[in-house]
Structure formats: C-alpha cells, structure tokens
Amino acid sequence: MDDRGRSRPQGYRPQPTRDLDEYEQRPIRRRRPPPPGQRPPRRRRRRVWPVLLAGCALGVLISVLAAAVIVFVAFRTTQNGIGALPIMGMSNTKSFTKEDTTQVQLSAISQLQVCDKIGNVSIKVDPTASTPSVTTTKIVHMSSQTAADQEFQRIAVEVQPPNTIANPLTCTRSQPTTAPTSTVTPTTTAGSANNALTVNITLPSNNGLLQANSDAVNVAITLPQSVLPPDGPTMQLDVEAPVGDIAINGISGLMNVTGDKGNIQVSNGILTGGSRLVTNLGNVSFNGPLGTPTNATADNNFYRISSSQGNIDVTLPATTNVSLDTYTNQGKISSDFAIPLQNSGGGMTYQGPLSTGSTSAPVTLVIHMNLGNIAIHKLQV
C-alpha cells in the first residue's frame, strides 16, 4: 500500500536504505580502552619466594647479632674494669666492689705464684715501698649491697706461703718447683720454700662468663726492691690469668706467664732461659735483656713469646746474641735488626741469628704469631 498520501511529522527526513547482501556482515564495533590513568589496577599474583627469602635473612641476622653479643661480652671481660659488664637478663643488677690489702711479712721473696681465673694481675717493684703488699679488688654484680656482701664471702682470696694454702690451686698448668739458673750464682735464699709466696683466687661455681653473678678479682702486688734476690735474675715468677690482662714491671728471672683472653706486658726486667710469655687472644709486649743460662739444657735453652691473635712487640739490646725463630701466618714482621725476612703466603718467617755475624748462640728466641703482626726493636740507650 502506498503511503505517499499519509501525513508525516514536520521535519521528517527519509533515511537512505540499502539491501544487505546475504554474505555481507556488519563490522563489529570495539570499545576503546580507557585512558591509562583510568584503568583499574591488575591483581598481581603473590609470590612465595620473596617471603621465604625475607624470613631466612631475618633468621641469619638474628643469629649474627647473638654471636656478636657473645663475642663482645667475652672480649670486654679482658679489658680494664673487668667484671663491670651488665649481665644479660638481669637489668636490675649493678656492679659492687670490695678492696682488701694484705701486708706480707717476708724479708725476701724468691718465688711468686699467682692463680686468678678471671681478673687483671699487676706485679711491680716499687723502690719507695718497705713491705710487700697484695691488694685484691673483688667485683660482683648483684641487685643490692646485702646480696653483694654475701657474694663477697663466697670468693676466697689466699695470700700465703704455698704449704699453707687451704684450697686447691686454680692454676691448670703445672708450675716449676726449682729456681732458675743464670750467669750469676744464686744465693742460698733463692729457691727456698720459706721465701715463696702464693696468691690463689677461688671463685664460686658458675656457668661461665655469662652467669648471673659474673664474679672477678683484680690482683695488684707491690714488691720493695730489698726483698728481691740481690745476686742477679734468679726470681721465679708463675702467673696464670686466663681472662684478664697481666702487667709485670721490674721483675727479673724465670717467668711462666700464661693468659688466654688478655694482654701480657713485661718491662724493665731480665728474662732467663726457659721463660714463657703466652696468650691466646691478646697482645704480648716485652722490653728488656735476655739472660744467658750458665748451662743450656732442653728446659732452658729458649725463650718463648707467642699469641694466636693480636700483636707482639719485643725490644732487645743491640748486643743480644740469640738465634731467632719467628713467623706469623697472617701478618707482617718488622725488625730493627738486619735479618732477611721471607714472605710465606699471607705471612712472614725467619730462622737464624738475630745479629748479623754473631757467633753460635746457645739459646733461641721463639716469637710465634698466628694472626697478627710482630715488631722487633733495638733498645735505645
């Protein structure tokens, strides 16, 4: 039916039409992606490996920190003021000290032995002193003065001739019992048991350095010049202080000084053959001449100075006649004496006479170091 006669709305415009082929398809209109700023964030898949790695790293960090704390505490106990460390897990404790001085009634001393497991040891000759004296400083960590006084009572300090010591000696190393021989004939007083003195420190049973009380005792011994053997370096000195510094000034003779974690310093004295200055973790220093034994035997034809980790400093007279056996596995050796040092990997070594052109030496100076430096100086006159 023809609709040309029908009325159409005003403004009507006919739309063009076309017939679609049966094989023709209309194009599909795709939506444009939104601008980058309006795109919704994509959900990222959580990865497990970063979480595991972070956990492992945290565990390693905690282990390293714990080991560092233990090493720090052990190392600090070797420093001055030993025993003055805060105790782990006992923040309410503080340090208490008690000092006692004992006057020793001996007119002559030819043998001196000190056994102190934890604490510094100092031995010196004082020309102004008239009587030998031993000053001990007990150090404890407690929550109150009352508890500290009770702990002080548990620490035994014995300053007596050897045959009157009640408690077993705390020294672990066997000590020599005879007086040393030197180039000077000793008097009849040397080596006499009546002229021997022992200082023995006995600490309460504990669980190590990190125990609750962490007791320590510092020992300071002062000797007048008048009580020492008058006829040469015939004094016999045995000191064992595993945790603490050892300082000896003005003593001459046979010295067996043993430490473990701490420094050793010997000055203004003469070492006789067979002497040992040995520590494990610390520095060793010696300044003085070396006495030549009258009869060189297997027990007295050497001097030994050694440390596993630290530095060794030795000062000797220019005329010292000894064979030198020295090495450091990791470190350097410097010497004022003209010796042909040899490099050995990361360390240095030398074996031969200390002074060039010297005759065959009857004794050997052994200076051994594992990790650290060695310095050999000539004594300045």
pTM above 0.75, yes or no: no
Instruction: Name the residue among 263, 260, 243 with its Cα closest to residue 203.
Output: 243
Q: Which residue has the higher pLDDT, 80 or 267?
A: 267
Give rounded-to-5 percent helix, strand, coil for the chain.
15, 35, 50
- Judge contact between 114 and 240, C-beta under 8 A: yes
pLDDT of 200 reads 96
Whether 25 shows a pLDDT value over 60: the answer reads no
CA distance 334 to 344: 14
Q: Is 184 exposed, middle or buried (0-12, 13-18, 19+ CB in 10 A)?
A: middle
Tell me the mean pLDDT in the region 330-358.
88
**Of 64-68, 73-77, 148-152, 277-281, where does mean pLDDT reach its minimum?**
73-77
Whether 123 shows a pLDDT value over 60: the answer reads yes
Reported confidence tier of residue 373, pLDDT bands at 50, 70, 90: very high
pLDDT of 63 reads 65
Whether 107 shows a pLDDT value over 80: the answer reads yes
Percentage of the chain lying above the pLDDT 90 cut:
52
What residue ranges do the domains of the chain occupy?
76-300
How many Cα atoms occupy the beta-carbon half-sphere of 13 within 13 Å?
Answer: 3
CA distance 271 to 316: 11
- What are 332-341's pLDDT values in tens digits? 999 999 999 9
Q: Which residue has the higher pLDDT, 160 or 293?
A: 160
